[in-house]
């Protein structure tokens, strides 16, 4: 299934990807037009994946029923960001990672990395 087809059949679109030149603004006026009426959009990834004014316009028209964004294009969020006043838009302050489970996972990774290093069996090694 291609991206356009996926947009056309999805009730909820949730973004969880890194930002690159090829996906910057991937949620925009044109891609929103391909979506079902009443779609819900969640961005838990990178702010610039979404053309914020286009999303705000789609929320105002009802094309997009609701949006939840944990990230915006410029952080900290600027007072004139169109999503702050958009209908049915929920903005959280880049804290989706802060659940108890996420913090526990981060601590477990740190402990396991240190333990592996001390035992001479490092994990999560990045060679530069």
Give catalytic residues, as residue numbers: 46, 75, 94
Distance CA 2, CA 123 (A): 36
Distance CA 40, CA 12 (A): 5
Contact 98, 112 (CB under 8 A): no
Distance CA 56, CA 92 (A): 16
- Taking CA 113 as the corner, what is the angle to CA 107 and CA 44, rounded to the nearest 5 degrees? 50
């Amino acid at each position: 299934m291609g991206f356009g087809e996926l947009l056309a059949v999805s009730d909820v679109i949730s973004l969880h990807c890194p930002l690159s030149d090829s996906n910057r603004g991937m949620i925009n006026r044109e891609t929103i037009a391909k979506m079902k009426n009443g779609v819900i959009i969640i961005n838990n990834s990178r702010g610039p994946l979404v053309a914020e004014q286009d999303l705000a316009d789609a929320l105002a028209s009802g094309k997009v029923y609701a949006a939840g964004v944990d990230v915006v294009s410029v952080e900290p969020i600027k007072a004139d960001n169109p999503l702050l006043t958009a209908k049915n838009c929920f903005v959280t302050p880049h804290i989706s990672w802060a659940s108890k489970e996420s913090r526990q996972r981060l601590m477990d990774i740190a402990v396991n990395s240190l333990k592996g290093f001390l035992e001479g069996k490092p994990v999560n090694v990045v060679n530069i």
